[in-house]
Amino acid sequence: MTDLDQHSAPPSGGHLLRRAGPALLGYAAVRALGLAVLAVWGAAAGKSPHTLLTARWDSLWYTRVAAHGYGWEVRLPDGSVHSNLAFFPLLPWLERLVSAVSPLGHADAGLVVSWLASLCAAAGIFAVADHVYGRRAGICAAVLWAVLPVGIVQSMAYSESLFTALAAWSLYALLTGGWVTAGVLASLAGLTRPVGAAVVAAIWVTAAVQVYRERRAAPRMLLGVLLAPLGAAGYVLWVGHRTGGGLLGYLDVQAGWGNGFDFGYAFARFVGEKFTSAPGALAGTGLIIGVALVVWLYVTGVRQRQPLPLLLYTGVVVALALCAAGYFGSKPRLLLPAFPLLLPLAVALARLRTARSALILGGVAAASAVYGAFWLHGSGPP
């Protein structure tokens, strides 16, 4: 018997939606609180919350792709080139679709896509946690994802919510034996963000382990394995063809943004440089504590014997987030899709009385809402 055979068959869609009801209500309440605090803060600061959510940083790049397609770039004084080819196409495709069938502009369409995707992501996180640890843990996991300090990104016209929704449901399909569904969703995740490689890795390694144990490969498994990388591979190959860079074309585009994989050297140097001043030392200490917390949560998940697909997926997401060069202020946002890190905390909360866990989550939600408004009015999520 394999790890994927140890659980009962997945419930029907309607039953799962009813079962996830409290999780979705809790998630929506937290995100509504965050938006309300943002609106109040914006009114006091004289800034438009709508602009903060739809027309800053990456959301502008996605909107431009939706409106004008690929081919736009910015040349910086140092000679580097920021090309919109760095942004994967599924979100701008959906922005264009929603805008075409509604009176919304591309920016507002992106906001609608993100909000709907965030609910789908919360439902997917619930489904995974419920399948592995039970309903109470599923509810806590969905709400925990909402109360993350950078949770406001889930309500922006960014691709994190869309990617997390596709990744979570792909992993759920994988855990319940739905190989083809997992492959299709993994392919779509690969059209959303480069970290779609994490979902592909989870499917491929899980399939390899199952074939090794059973000495056979079911046709649906093979089809799921083949489908999983098509989205990312297709886009990367298209970029290589368009730029004339071949297989390395997309890496050249990312290099123009200063992105690359250096096994964490640049990030470690960034943290070390913080200790050259007293204020910086406090920030550096905070970064070290944050990384240590991520590692501790992952190790705890290993000790709790999380299913192999979750450990594989989370490990790749964390590695790509922490060991890549680039703008270091974006790393908390890049860790948003690593929702299985929250499962040990969800299990701990699920063991408490409902009133106590609700009080804890409510307090964290309030702090997160205030921080999100402060963050978005300041440096924000580049």
Q: Is residue 267 part of a domain?
A: no
pLDDT of 295 reads 94
Per-residue pLDDT, averaged over 213-237, amounts to 94
Q: Is the pLDDT of residue 130 over 50?
A: yes
CB atoms within 10 A of CB 227: 21
Q: Is residue 283 part of a domain?
A: no
Range of the domain at 106: 3-7+15-257+354-377
Compute the Cα dihedral for 85, 87, 91, 96 and give only its sign: negative
Q: Is the pLDDT of residue 3 over 60?
A: no
Q: Is residue 56 part of a domain?
A: yes
Radius of gyration of the chain (CA): 21
Q: Using pLDDT thresholds of 50, 70 and 90, give the confidence band for residue 29.
A: very high
Q: Using pLDDT thresholds of 50, 70 and 90, give the confidence band for residue 166.
A: very high
pLDDT of 6 reads 40
Q: Using pLDDT thresholds of 50, 70 and 90, give the confidence band for residue 2.
A: very low
Q: Using pLDDT thresholds of 50, 70 and 90, give the confidence band for residue 271.
A: confident
Closest to 171 (Cα-Cα) out of 145, 189, 148: 189
Residues 185 and 166: their CA atoms lie apart, in Å, by 6
Residues 279 and 314: their CA atoms lie apart, in Å, by 32
Q: Provide the whole-model pTM.
A: 0.93
pLDDT tens per residue across span 348-379: 999 999 999 999 999 999 999 999 999 898 87
Domains identified in the chain, total number: 1
- 303: Cβ–Cβ under 8 A, 6 or more apart, which residues? none
Residues 380 and 184: their CA atoms lie apart, in Å, by 33
Query: Do the bridges between strand 260-261 and strand 73-75 make them parallel or antiparallel, or are there none, so unpaired?
Result: unpaired
Tokens 């939600």 belong to 365
Phi, psi (degrees; rounded to nearest 5) at 83: -105, 145
Per-residue pLDDT, averaged over 137-144, amounts to 97
Residues 174 and 126: their CA atoms lie apart, in Å, by 15
Q: For helices 179-190 and 197-214, what crossing angle results, to 10°? A: 150
Q: How far is CA 100 from CA 69, 208, 268, in A?
A: 15, 42, 45
Q: Is residue 39 part of a domain?
A: yes
Q: Using pLDDT thresholds of 50, 70 and 90, give the confidence band for residue 12.
A: low
Tokens 């397609």 belong to 69
Q: Is the pLDDT of residue 201 over 60?
A: yes
CA triple 268-269-270, angle to 5 deg? 90
- Percentage of the chain lying above the pLDDT 70 cut: 95
Q: Is the pLDDT of residue 5 over 90?
A: no
Lowest-confidence pick of 56-70, 123-137, 228-242, 248-262: 248-262
Amino acid identity of residue 152, one-letter, is I
Q: Is residue 197 part of a domain?
A: yes
Q: Is residue 382 part of a domain?
A: no
Q: Is residue 323 part of a domain?
A: no
The number of CA neighbours under 13 Å toward the Cβ of 320 is 20
Q: Is residue 141 part of a domain?
A: yes
pLDDT of 75 reads 87
